Amino acid sequence: MAAPKTVLIVYAHQSAGSFNSAAKDVAVEELTKQGYKVIVSDLYAMNFKATATQQDIIGDLQNPDEFKYGDETLHAWREGRLTEDIVAEHQKVKEAELIIFQFPMYWFSVPAILKGWIDRVLTQGFAFTLQNLYDNGIFKNKKAMLSFTTGAIQSMFCPDGLHGDINVTLWPLQNGVLHFCGFQVLAPQVSWCPAHSPPDVRTSMLNAWRARLKTLLAEKPLTFPPCTMFDMTFPGGFVLRPEVREEQRSCPHGISTGHHLGKPLPPDNQLKAEEKGDAV
């Protein structure tokens, strides 16, 4: 009998009575019911260290006179000299078919403890190399997604809203972290302003999340420009190839939220899977 497929939930909230906790519990319950093995990394309960320091490395440094975290952890990973907490998270990531990041949005990003998980666990060599990026990334056969709450109502994150376009806010996390490591990025689950919503609205949000979870792993990932569109040579490269730029001249929108080419952003590029274009 085949072993059950694994989902890892990286959870970052202090309170068991929070909406984020309820969303995490719904995911555990629904995915377990579907036969998945669900692992939860409860970062606050684990007292997970948020700072990336030389204490993450066991033994001598390669260059103690000029400490560079990325270089030193790459060497330590190759030699099996990273601390136990990082190694334990590496094992969970290796096992997981899907990673769900469940958190409240803090200052247009993730809480510090979750940023620490990203900094420390997505180690160079383990999660990426300079040769294996984006659609050629190490985790190209895995899926990942953000599930988060906001303190603001949805209209505040519209292109004409006070906070600006949510697609711009999500680009660094979804492209710069997840897609950079090769993950197939599923559209985020955004729970808008639950703290200031009545109980029936919060219940509706959780029910919508539960319904989505039933077919989550069959969803089409978000679309990002493939590396083949870029001149991947060094130095002076890593920009759109001239023929691609020429092809894009007649398009009304830029290629993606990040590759806007000075044009209007493609609508909801970071919020829902596109029906057309190359998937990761």
As a whole number of angstroms, the distance between CA 104 and CA 23 comes to 11
CATH class of 6-221: alpha beta
- Is the predicted pLDDT of residue 18 greater than 50, yes or no? yes
Residues in the chain: 280
Distances (CA, A) of 24 to 41, 100, 198, 234: 11, 9, 20, 43
Contact call for residues 102 and 24 (beta carbons, < 8 A): yes
Domain ranges in the chain? 6-221
The pLDDT value given to residue 88? 98
Q: What is the pLDDT of residues 37-85, one digit of tens each?
A: 999 999 999 999 999 999 999 999 999 999 999 999 999 999 999 999 9
pLDDT attached to residue 274: 67
190: Cβ contacts below 8 Å, ≥ 6 apart: 148, 150, 154, 166, 271
Look at residue 278 and tell me whether its pLDDT is greater than 50: no
Which residue is listed with tokens 């007292």? Answer: 47
Judge whether residue 105 has pLDDT over 80: yes
- Determine the Cα–Cα distance for residues 183 and 274; give it in Å rounded to an integer: 16
Task: Give the span between the Cα atoms of 32 and 27, in whole angstroms.
Answer: 8
pTM: 0.95
Residue 280 has pLDDT above 90, yes or no: no
- Asked if the model's pLDDT at residue 1 lies above 80, the reply is no
User: How high is the mean pLDDT of the chain?
Assistant: 94
Q: In this model, does residue 3 exceed pLDDT 80?
A: no
**Which alpha helices (DSSP H) does the chain contain, by range?**
19-33, 69-78, 84-95, 112-121, 166-173, 199-213, 242-248
Whether 277 shows a pLDDT value over 90: the answer reads no
pLDDT tens profile 190-221: 999 999 999 999 999 999 999 999 999 999 99
For the segment 91-110, the average pLDDT, to the nearest whole number, is 98
What's the pLDDT at 237?
83
Is residue 183 predicted with pLDDT exceeding 80? yes
Question: Among 68-77, 231-240, 260-269, where is mean pLDDT lowest?
Answer: 231-240
Count of H-run helices and E-run strands, the chain: 7, 6
